[in-house]
Structure 1
């Protein structure tokens, strides 16, 4: 689903740029969700307001710490990144989820579906305060599903969507079995979907439902990994994921 030669060139450039980096520019930002819960996010920036922005959402039980290694590499490709703590989460890579703590203190629900309002708030904040360029939403596991729904409902603000291991994970939370698939049917922006090799059946139905003419997917030849951690360098096949992702980003 992508040009291997082009992706190899892009990946080589990314590695060179990343290795030549003199340091990561990062700020901890705070803003409110629609119900008043204070949210936390790490802003990894290249050039404030002028660089395209990728908003990074984590997987279940985790935090913005999922992107400690990933965000600087995206900076090297020219993208600023906002790694957001969603209220449905915990800790990873020694980074505690501050939004989750704040939501619990305020006696708010912290199910997957409850995090959707946080994602909406992050897009509104990012588009109004952090970039005048393109805005891309990126999700991991449950948040990748919600990112597809978000792209369909906020097409005026979202220019593309990247989904690592999406699926219909929400039927036990009071929504329909096609909660995400029905939302994905409204996505007309460029889309990139990937996952572990065994997870294709979890998202193929929703992928088919996406009407966008600029959609791509990638499945590894190896077993692969669930969620955005597939990009972590500790995994032997992470380079292949990066090459596929780089090719998609170049295409948009």
Structure 2
């Protein structure tokens, strides 16, 4: 009986994984230095529907979003989950971009992923010209999407940042590298994190001049990065409620 139960559970997991994979397709495009970037497209809606470009945290991959993207689809958004060159593996998916960058002898520190973030947004603009585009980051990429929102406003209509911070001083950047760019953000912004991480991004949030800036801190201790939305965590629904409130507001340009 125990063997049968184990086999049945394994079959269930394989079926679940297959259903997730069937909802997406992999695409590739070049970064500005010609490294091939891999991404999963989750696009059940018409091509003019708003598109969320999803970026993972350190040591991770586009697999970070294989549970999150389908839920965002149900809210009316298409999604592009991107492998950045600074990462490794998550939820059954190797980071293909990181492997290519490493094989080419390129640096794969957090800040080195900035061109990949920009290139993914440019790819989205080109292939979904009628869509509003939101950039969504997790940990180090959350900081980078805030930087892009300030430096390249023409690429983004909204930004969501999960556990951002000034993570780049040990890579030769200033201690206010993200904050300096955030001073120019004038699009809708949503920032969240675990409870203890709020002090890591509060100074960034404070300088954002956008009249539509929003934040959420859970009543629980919470989680770091986008994984806070994974169903296995008991407090994930509190994050989802805050996300829904931000994304589905009728006052936003993508509504």
Do they superpose with TM above 0.5?
yes
Residue 156 of structure 1 aligns to a residue whose secondary structure is: helix
Is 222-231 or 23-32 further displaced after alignment? 23-32
Structure 2 stretches of 5 or more lacking a match? 1-18
How do residues 47-126 of structure 1 correspond to structure 2 at under 5 angstroms?
A: 47-126=45-124
Instruction: Identify the residue that residue 5 of structure 1 maps to in structure 2.
Output: none
Structure 1 consecutive aligned stretches of length 4 or more whose deviation exceeds 3 Å: 22-25
TM-score (norm 2): 0.89
Q: RCO greater where, 1 or 2, for CA within 8 Å and sep 6 or more?
A: 1
- Give the secondary-structure state (helix, strand or coil) at the position aligned to 2:81: strand
Q: Which residue of 2 aligns with 1:3?
A: none
Once the two structures are TM-superposed, the CA of residue 48 in structure 1 deviates from its matched residue by: 4.4
How many angstroms apart in 1 are the aligned matches of 2:46 and 2:150?
26
Q: Does 1:230 align with 2:228?
A: yes
Q: Which residue number in structure 2 is paired with residue 186 of structure 1?
A: 184
- Matched residue of 1:244: which SS? helix
Aligned to 2:174: 176
Moved more, 227-236 or 39-48: 39-48
Number of the residue aligned with 1:17 = none
Q: Which structure: larger Rg?
A: 2
Q: CA deviation at 1:177?
A: 0.3
Aligned-partner SS, 1:82: strand
1:154 aligned to 2:152?
yes
Whether the 8 Å contact between 1:142 and 1:166 is mirrored in structure 2 is yes
RMSD: 1.1
| Alignment correspondent of 1:208 | 206
Q: CA deviation at 1:49?
A: 2.0
Q: How many residues align?
A: 231
| Structure 2 equivalent of residue 137 of structure 1 | 135
TM-score norm. by structure 1 comes to 0.90
